[in-house]
Chain A
């Protein structure tokens, strides 16, 4: 608001009509997939629903409910307990565990899932070993089940709850705790009546992030033969090639995530986003010595091993075996996959950051309710499962392609082919919609960090608009732009459902390859691309941890 007038003059130097209509155009593009999916939900084809209901839908709904419940309880307990452990207690290696416990975030569920499958399934080393010892493995838990899916997802998704709960605990002042202590509260009462209610908004936010991921996942549940609604969309799309039915299923999924968001809002009555802070100076800590310290270390290292160490080791073992017998042909495949993944991720990162920068700066120039609304709409993609966005984009783009081809054929007798659905345009569009919030938040927070009055000082000192942008503003927001680009880049590398549904035929990426090979149980072939994805996933964690220091 301070430098509004002035910067508006700056903006007025340029073409105002284009600049002021651009945000609306972007918002329309963002809304398009949502509207497409919503409209197909609002105009249901009863025969489709009847068929779905008679065949797979009840199972999908039940599985989805079980999955959400299981992952919700699992991440809530694991994430909160670990956060409390590292916040309220001192034990050997605590500082290291604080960040080690975040690492599972780098392991996408669809990678963790097949590694667990390989290790713990009937033919895997664990059960084989048990049988070699003469034990029956009939009673050994069935990994290929809802239980397996819930376990794997809990292990990779608890860090959301852990991080946000830790931040929630860290935000609390020690004085409230001390006041409660002085008033005679026991440790248990303290935790449940003071600490937890105060941290509740953060914990709810963490659990809902985890649930959104679980809801959107189709790959992991497929390994474990536990189909959910997200998986249903792809089954309908791939199996029946029925885009209409897929889009109605997508509508259902979108509705479920909207419900999830709504209940999150009801459950937490505070601000919408939490800054993740690393300091926990507020709460008094208690030192765990002797066997208690040992138990704490045991719990933490057990979790880190199960959720990161074990799958990583397995991938490394497979990977080294694969490198040992790498043929030039296989190498060429890997290079092509990496090239596709990297270029997709890079293009999407640039696109998302450019749009984010434009939206964020215009929102700042205009201010007001409308701008706030526009930016909110632009960042809703993060709340939508990838499959929903993919379907919502596929429908209009293929219609557009058909239309273009019909027209050109009618007018000039020439068919240009599938311009949008046959190229990566649709992919980039979908990625940008899906990951806009990531780019927007980093760009916007870096704009926020431009010290007040700095722009004005530069203007008073005679800087032209060009100098103002190149010498003052860009250098100041560059770290935010880079961070946003890196986050989008990594998210795109890991992304599966959108890539799966919108990629041009035969255009494989690392993630697609991993998924396809894993589905065929060709573990060794998955290893190198999977390792590349996990390594990339470590980058944002590094960023996150260095930011919180």
Chain B
């Protein structure tokens, strides 16, 4: 298991699913706009974004469940979709697990999993189905019907069914969103293990950043039909390319600051910009995550705790700084500070991210990341 993982890290990156300039228009709405993205072989890739961002549309285009308006899709260097060419879904070597599982309600679990193995000798089908059912931990459930199973079991059957024809690319459309929290966590890691062992390239669609972060090698963040950023979960969280990304993947506060040369000067201290391309001086907004902010009981401090939210292991504090700005701090809950306490604020900036200042209105997101 772990050797495999370490081995995978060493292998060369090889493109597997290539989306170039994808566009999808419906009569009244543009669902996708000029989306270019490469998913590598064996990679677990997540398309993350709010509802209506185009992530499911992208997945459906890859699966061949929808025709695209612009651009092209290639799998294994073979064109599968363009405005003038359409390879039917069954020829693409993809498997798909739907949010509602879409099991065949009139077939047993065995028959469901066997569905994609049509044409093989009976014995071979039985062998493969039993293997897969054992793999998903449902070896004894072959003769049951979907309606006799729990949500988690259905999800496993759907996975086994999708895996049966040994697809090269597995597409997962919010497969965990109908499960309760505990089961979701268990099934996520189970699913990830099974898919990693099968060596399949995976594209997961989700609106849950925690899910995307915990499962994926890389994440693509979509907003309004456009790709905002592609990167590892670490990059997405710590080096967001836009305010939208910063806000979507976690709590973000912005502090007015000023760039002077290669330094950012704020009321809470000065921080070095990681690359010194930026010259001169400019007003900026500095991104601060609650986990960058630590506070300590100090009657002479510069902030007051206005709200304490207990979250279990952590507590989230809302702070009002003396200059009027509001900031959040996350600390271990074992050492809980009470509301109304005056505190000293320390910012331990590990990654300095600044955006150009903007009006807080409905204007479109204009942003310049630190790498601009």
Contact surface of A with B, Cβ cutoff 8 Å: 3, 5-6, 9, 451-454, 456-463, 467, 471-472, 475-476
Question: Are A6 and B65 in contact, CB atoms less than 8 angstroms apart?
Answer: yes
Question: Are B165 and A454 in contact, CB atoms less than 8 angstroms apart?
Answer: no
Q: Is B106 an interface residue (CB 8 A)?
A: yes
Nearest-neighbour CB distance to chain B for A81, whole angstroms, equals 39
Question: Are B118 and A460 in contact, CB atoms less than 8 angstroms apart?
Answer: no
Give chain A residues whose Cβ lies under 8 Å from the Cβ of B98. 452-453, 456-457
Question: Are B88 and A457 in contact, CB atoms less than 8 angstroms apart?
Answer: no
Given the contacts A451-B105, A452-B100, A461-B115, A5 and B66 also touching, CB distance less than 8 Å = yes
Residue from B64, B66, B105, B161 in contact with A461 in the complex, judged by beta carbons closer than 8 Å: B161
Given A461-B115, A467-B118, 6 new contacts (CB under 8 A): A453-B98, A456-B96, A457-B98, A463-B90, A463-B118, A476-B104
Question: Are A454 and B65 in contact, CB atoms less than 8 angstroms apart?
Answer: no
Give chain B residues whose Cβ lies under 8 Å from the Cβ of A472. 104
Question: Are B90 and A459 in contact, CB atoms less than 8 angstroms apart?
Answer: yes
The answer for the CA separation of A461 and B167 in the assembled complex, in Å, is 9
Give chain B residues whose Cβ lies under 8 Å from the Cβ of A476. 104-106
Question: Are A9 and B102 in contact, CB atoms less than 8 angstroms apart?
Answer: no
Question: Are A452 and B165 in contact, CB atoms less than 8 angstroms apart?
Answer: no
Question: Are B65 and A5 in contact, CB atoms less than 8 angstroms apart?
Answer: yes
Residue from B67, B96, B103 in contact with A460 in the complex, judged by beta carbons closer than 8 Å: B96
Give chain B residues whose Cβ lies under 8 Å from the Cβ of A451. 100, 102-103, 105
Residue contacts A-B, CB under 8 angstroms, 25 given = A5-B67, A451-B100, A451-B102, A451-B103, A452-B98, A452-B102, A453-B100, A453-B102, A454-B104, A456-B65, A456-B96, A457-B98, A457-B103, A458-B104, A458-B115, A459-B65, A460-B94, A460-B96, A461-B90, A461-B161, A461-B164, A463-B115, A467-B118, A472-B104, A476-B104
The answer for the CA separation of A27 and B94 in the assembled complex, in Å, is 41
For B72-104 the 0/1 string (1 means CB < 8 A from A) is 000000000000000011100011101010111
The answer for the CA separation of A6 and B67 in the assembled complex, in Å, is 9
Given the contacts A6-B65, A461-B161, A462-B165, A456 and B102 also touching, CB distance less than 8 Å = yes
The answer for the CA separation of A471 and B105 in the assembled complex, in Å, is 11
The answer for the CA separation of A457 and B101 in the assembled complex, in Å, is 9
Given the contacts A6-B65, A457-B96, A462 and B102 also touching, CB distance less than 8 Å = no
Nearest-neighbour CB distance to chain A for B309, whole angstroms, equals 31
The answer for the CA separation of A6 and B89 in the assembled complex, in Å, is 9
Give chain B residues whose Cβ lies under 8 Å from the Cβ of A467. 118
Question: Are B67 and A462 in contact, CB atoms less than 8 angstroms apart?
Answer: no
Cβ-closest chain A residue relative to B173: A453
Cβ-closest chain B residue relative to A476: B106
Give chain B residues whose Cβ lies under 8 Å from the Cβ of A471. 115
How would you classify the secondary structure of chain A's contact residues: helix, strand, loop or mixed? helix
Interface residues of B in 50-71 (CB under 8 A from A): 63-67
Q: Is B15 an interface residue (CB 8 A)?
A: no
Nearest-neighbour CB distance to chain A for B196, whole angstroms, equals 22
Give chain A residues whose Cβ lies under 8 Å from the Cβ of B66. 5
For B136-165 the 0/1 string (1 means CB < 8 A from A) is 000000000000000000000000011011
Give chain B residues whose Cβ lies under 8 Å from the Cβ of A475. 106
Q: Is B357 an interface residue (CB 8 A)?
A: no
Cβ-closest chain A residue relative to B99: A453
The answer for the CA separation of A451 and B99 in the assembled complex, in Å, is 12
Q: Is B116 an interface residue (CB 8 A)?
A: yes
The answer for the CA separation of A463 and B64 in the assembled complex, in Å, is 14
> How many interface residues does chain B have, given as a range?
20 to 34
* Best-surrounded residue of B95, B104, B106, B161 (most CB of chain A within 10 A): B104
The answer for the CA separation of A535 and B363 in the assembled complex, in Å, is 70
Nearest-neighbour CB distance to chain A for B113, whole angstroms, equals 10
Question: Are B90 and A462 in contact, CB atoms less than 8 angstroms apart?
Answer: yes
Give chain A residues whose Cβ lies under 8 Å from the Cβ of B162. 460-461
Question: Are B102 and A454 in contact, CB atoms less than 8 angstroms apart?
Answer: yes
Cβ-closest chain A residue relative to B167: A460
* Best-surrounded residue of B65, B105, B165 (most CB of chain A within 10 A): B65
Question: Are A460 and B100 in contact, CB atoms less than 8 angstroms apart?
Answer: no
Given the contacts A454-B104, A467-B118, A476-B105, A461 and B67 also touching, CB distance less than 8 Å = no
The answer for the CA separation of A488 and B118 in the assembled complex, in Å, is 37
The answer for the CA separation of A525 and B64 in the assembled complex, in Å, is 66
Give chain A residues whose Cβ lies under 8 Å from the Cβ of B88. 9, 459
Give chain B residues whose Cβ lies under 8 Å from the Cβ of A461. 90, 95, 115-116, 161-162, 164-165
The answer for the CA separation of A453 and B104 in the assembled complex, in Å, is 10
The answer for the CA separation of A471 and B115 in the assembled complex, in Å, is 10
The answer for the CA separation of A3 and B67 in the assembled complex, in Å, is 11
Question: Are B65 and A3 in contact, CB atoms less than 8 angstroms apart?
Answer: yes
Nearest-neighbour CB distance to chain B for A277, whole angstroms, equals 20
The answer for the CA separation of A9 and B154 in the assembled complex, in Å, is 29
Give chain B residues whose Cβ lies under 8 Å from the Cβ of A6. 65, 89
Nearest-neighbour CB distance to chain A for B367, whole angstroms, equals 34
The answer for the CA separation of A378 and B25 in the assembled complex, in Å, is 33
Give chain A residues whose Cβ lies under 8 Å from the Cβ of B116. 461-462
Q: Closest 9 A-B residue pairs measured CB to CB?
A: A461-B116, A453-B102, A462-B90, A457-B102, A453-B98, A460-B89, A475-B106, A454-B102, A460-B96
The answer for the CA separation of A459 and B66 in the assembled complex, in Å, is 12
Nearest-neighbour CB distance to chain A for B214, whole angstroms, equals 25
Give chain A residues whose Cβ lies under 8 Å from the Cβ of B105. 451, 454, 476
Give chain B residues whose Cβ lies under 8 Å from the Cβ of A456. 63, 65, 89, 96, 98, 102
Give chain B residues whose Cβ lies under 8 Å from the Cβ of A460. 63-65, 89-90, 94-96, 162
Give chain B residues whose Cβ lies under 8 Å from the Cβ of A459. 65, 88-90
The answer for the CA separation of A9 and B96 in the assembled complex, in Å, is 19
The answer for the CA separation of A9 and B115 in the assembled complex, in Å, is 21
Nearest-neighbour CB distance to chain A for B177, whole angstroms, equals 14
The answer for the CA separation of A471 and B118 in the assembled complex, in Å, is 12
Cβ-closest chain A residue relative to B91: A462
Give chain B residues whose Cβ lies under 8 Å from the Cβ of A9. 88
* Best-surrounded residue of A454, A462, A476 (most CB of chain B within 10 A): A462
The answer for the CA separation of A85 and B99 in the assembled complex, in Å, is 44
Give chain A residues whose Cβ lies under 8 Å from the Cβ of B63. 456, 460
The answer for the CA separation of A458 and B106 in the assembled complex, in Å, is 13
Give chain B residues whose Cβ lies under 8 Å from the Cβ of A457. 96, 98, 102-104, 161
Nearest-neighbour CB distance to chain B for A500, whole angstroms, equals 42
Nearest-neighbour CB distance to chain B for A407, whole angstroms, equals 49
The answer for the CA separation of A454 and B102 in the assembled complex, in Å, is 5
The answer for the CA separation of A134 and B141 in the assembled complex, in Å, is 78
Give chain A residues whose Cβ lies under 8 Å from the Cβ of B106. 475-476
Give chain B residues whose Cβ lies under 8 Å from the Cβ of A5. 65-67
Nearest-neighbour CB distance to chain A for B142, whole angstroms, equals 17
Cβ-closest chain A residue relative to B158: A457
The answer for the CA separation of A481 and B102 in the assembled complex, in Å, is 22
* Best-surrounded residue of A3, A453, A467, A475 (most CB of chain B within 10 A): A453
The answer for the CA separation of A209 and B96 in the assembled complex, in Å, is 47
Nearest-neighbour CB distance to chain B for A452, whole angstroms, equals 6
Give chain A residues whose Cβ lies under 8 Å from the Cβ of B165. 461-462
Give chain A residues whose Cβ lies under 8 Å from the Cβ of B89. 6, 456, 459-460
* Best-surrounded residue of A6, A458, A460, A462 (most CB of chain B within 10 A): A460
Give chain B residues whose Cβ lies under 8 Å from the Cβ of A3. 65
The answer for the CA separation of A449 and B255 in the assembled complex, in Å, is 53
Nearest-neighbour CB distance to chain A for B290, whole angstroms, equals 39
Interface residues of B in 245-293 (CB under 8 A from A): none
